[in-house]
Amino acid sequence: MGFPRDFPQKTRRREPERVRSFLAIAVFRGNDGTMESAPPPSDPAPPAAAPRMTDLERLRHSAAHVMATAIAKLWPDAQFAAGPPVEDGFYYDVELGHRISPADFDKIEAEMKAVVKTNQPFERIVVSRAEALALAQKGRLAALGERALPSRYKLDILQGILEGETITLYRNGDFLDLCAGPHTMRTGNVKAFKLTAVASAYYKGDEANPQLQRIYGTAFPNKTELEAHFVMLEEAKKRDHRRLGAEMGLFAMDPEYTGPGLPLWLPKGAAILEELEKLAKETEFVAGYVRVKTPHLAREKMYTTSGHLPYYAESMFPPMEIREERRRTSDVGDAKENPASSSDRYFLKAMNCPHHHRIFAAAPRSYRDLPLRLAEYGCCYRYEQSGELFGLMRVRSMNMNDAHIYCAPDQFAAEFNAVNAMYLKYFEIFGFTKYRMRFSTSAPEGMGRKYVDEPALWKQTEDMVRRVLQESSIQYVEVPDEAAFYGPKIDVQVWSAIGREFTLATNQVDFAVPKRFGLVYRDRDNADKTPLCIHRAPLGTHERFIGFLIEHYAGNFPLWLAPDQVRVLPVTDAQLSYAQALVAELRAAQVRAEMEFSNDKLQGRIQRAEAARVHTIFVVGAKEQASGAVALRVHGKGQQGVKPRAEAIAEILAAIRNRSR
């Protein structure tokens, strides 16, 4: 309970459904039971229930088989599991004594080329369960011939296939695999491919299962597109927030001294952080939020009450044990008076809500006080698994764009709607056009186990949320059985400029935890009632949000966010005082401005300013000084002509105020 570790932090890319279906697999619901050839690449009608694939996916799926054929030839004891197409290519999971390393790629690719060259047809074969099992027992599936050991993963997959479903094999040359298809016509269709990575993956994604070697590759219809893909990847790498963050001096990671996952905000990054928080504060002020401030830690009782302990404990930093000397009690020889107790343990907070609940409880509340909207960009600490840390996107210390709205049931729809409107406002400001709201609901079978056992409340709340979503015509998808323990939630998924999808923000309804804290308000009928609580973080964590913004803008921030808003470059030292006066005027108006005069030529200084992504450059020479003007240059746009200084500064102030893009 309590706020899921993913409250604002959710990065995992879900496997496309079709990938899972491959594991379940190899099934057509057709019923012919006869052998037939694979459909040609252009055939629009593979059996109706076959996995649907685009032409590109089909090509990549076939490439996966070509790769498996090559691997089976090089290492006949290879045990294959699943080999689907994925977003950027394909993979095949394999269990193998030999550790495949990138050094083996050349060898594997050479074998693949041989398979492509012989242009083997992909042949679709429908078999009975008994036939398939017999082949698997003989190690004949996902292999070039019979083997001493059974095809264990294929056998397992076969056992997962329901009675009555059609079982199909695909064969190319001697390579025979359990597979639902579809495939291209022949191996010769796999013209342009490349192996890209090797990693490990648990069989069926379950930690309890063996780890397999997952070999990734990609394939395209032709060499040109393949090469373009790698060029695109190189370009994407240049936008990576970890790289830009270092280049631009936004943040630093200091694992040795500060600790892994604990970013240091450098002055230029902190400037962005503060602009973001300024925006949020202004927006929330207008929307009737009030700001609070709470400590970074709390006693154990806070989290036993909230329910985070012991369940959530492993995601929290270990407790600080406060060992008081038992001075007085030891003096009188009665240590039992003051035994070390659990109340001597403090925890760094992993979420702000318990503290906010205590603020709610700090005074008697009337229905007149509701809705009460408590906002705080509290710094939370989560002990994320080491392998999960990822630049700013997954960190261990985070500022949440947090607020908790306590309201009565009849206020819920309006509050929830207002929160959604706030999300949309932000997206508009930042120019996010591609996002999706993911509405996670409960499932009846999880009641009392996975979810708080309040079926009526669940239904009521989910209906409310669904109605609000429909009425506001927000694009969303509903995902059953993915809700939080304490209520339904909405995650906002976005795609960064480099195509990475993750959850930026979460909006959750909580009808369980306020009760655990005994929170009540006195209603009109003079009865004490438990408020509903909406947890909302439209900017998620500021760390992740800025990581996303860096990639979204490729480091080229709009003026209001740009760490370097204006740089004044005097042409010669004769303009130093004029330049300094300009900087002073800009700073007096709260603009981040600086002057640079060095031994470099003007051209060199411009080059450096552009490389540093300074938003606006004022070049001032004798002419500008004489006329009280500035020569403007804007990052990405080049020279903008000469303007009177008052006009130039007024435009800058207006652009900052409007947060225009």
Q: Tell which positions 605-644 bind RNA, by CB under 7 A.
A: 606-608, 610-611, 617, 619-624, 631, 633, 635-636, 638-639, 642
Minimum distance, C-beta of residue 192 to RNA, in the bound complex (Å)? 21
Closest to RNA by CB, 159 vs 211, is 211
State which of positions 466-485 bind RNA (CB under 7 A).
484-485
Cβ atoms of 287 and 420 closer than 8 Å: no
Closest to RNA by CB, 170 vs 458, is 458
Residues 6+ apart with CB under 8 A from 272: 250, 546, 549, 557, 561, 563
Where do we find the tokens 């409007």?
658
Give the separation between CA 361 and CA 292, rounded to whole angstroms: 14
448 interacts with RNA by CB under 7 A: no
State which of positions 96-155 bind RNA (CB under 7 A).
99, 101
Minimum distance, C-beta of residue 185 to RNA, in the bound complex (Å)? 30
- Identify the residue among 300, 388, 585, 594 touching RNA (CB under 7 A): 388
- Identify the residue among 4, 51, 538, 540 touching RNA (CB under 7 A): 4
Minimum distance, C-beta of residue 271 to RNA, in the bound complex (Å)? 20
Closest to RNA by CB, 288 vs 604, is 604
601 interacts with RNA by CB under 7 A: yes
Q: Which helix (H) or strand (E) holds 2?
A: none
Minimum distance, C-beta of residue 132 to RNA, in the bound complex (Å)? 26
Residues 6+ apart with CB under 8 A from 391: 240, 241, 242, 245, 253, 547
Closest to RNA by CB, 344 vs 651, is 651
The type of residue at 308 is H
Where do we find the tokens 């928080």?
277
- Identify the residue among 59, 253, 419, 468 touching RNA (CB under 7 A): 253
* Binding segment toward RNA, per CB under 7 A, in 115-123, 184-192, 467-475, 600-608: 600-608
Minimum distance, C-beta of residue 620 to RNA, in the bound complex (Å)? 7
527-566 per-residue burial string, b: 16 or more CB within 10 A, e: under 16: eebbbbbbbbbbbbbbbbbbbbbbbbbbbebbbbbbbbbb
Beta bridge partners of 522: 366, 528
What are 305's two structure tokens? 């009450």
Closest to RNA by CB, 190 vs 568, is 568
CA 653 from chain centre, in angstroms, equals 34
Minimum distance, C-beta of residue 619 to RNA, in the bound complex (Å)? 3
**Binding footprint of RNA, residue count (CB under 7 A):** 77
Q: Where are the beta strands (DSSP E) in 34-129?
A: 79-80, 85-86, 89-95, 123-127
Minimum distance, C-beta of residue 172 to RNA, in the bound complex (Å)? 26
State which of positions 543-572 bind RNA (CB under 7 A).
571-572
State which of positions 183-242 bind RNA (CB under 7 A).
197-202, 205-207, 211, 213-214, 242
Closest to RNA by CB, 185 vs 579, is 579
Alpha helix stretches (DSSP H) within 347-486? 353-360, 412-430, 455-471
Minimum distance, C-beta of residue 401 to RNA, in the bound complex (Å)? 17
Angle between helices 152-159 and 129-137 (to 10 degrees): 160
Q: How many CA atoms lie within 13 A of 524 on its CB side?
A: 2
Whether residue 310 has a cis bond before it, omega within 30° of 0:
yes
Beta bridge partners of 321: 345
Closest to RNA by CB, 339 vs 638, is 638
Q: How many CB atoms lie within 10 A of CB 260?
A: 13
Minimum distance, C-beta of residue 463 to RNA, in the bound complex (Å)? 20
Beta bridge partners of 89: 86
6 interacts with RNA by CB under 7 A: yes
Minimum distance, C-beta of residue 272 to RNA, in the bound complex (Å)? 19
Closest to RNA by CB, 15 vs 478, is 15
42 interacts with RNA by CB under 7 A: no
582 interacts with RNA by CB under 7 A: no
Query: Among 428, 386, 381, which residue's Cα sits nearest to residue 400?
Result: 381
Percentages of the chain per state (helix, strand, coil), in multiples of 5: 40, 25, 40
Give the separation between CA 658 and CA 416, rounded to whole angstroms: 26
State which of positions 254-273 bind RNA (CB under 7 A).
255-256, 260-261
Minimum distance, C-beta of residue 353 to RNA, in the bound complex (Å)? 12
* Binding segment toward RNA, per CB under 7 A, in 26-34, 185-193, 253-261, 333-341: 253-261
Give the separation between CA 607 and CA 589, rounded to whole angstroms: 27
Minimum distance, C-beta of residue 266 to RNA, in the bound complex (Å)? 12
State which of positions 279-338 bind RNA (CB under 7 A).
307-308, 311-312
The type of residue at 653 is L
State which of positions 483-542 bind RNA (CB under 7 A).
484-485
443 interacts with RNA by CB under 7 A: no
602 interacts with RNA by CB under 7 A: yes
Minimum distance, C-beta of residue 496 to RNA, in the bound complex (Å)? 13
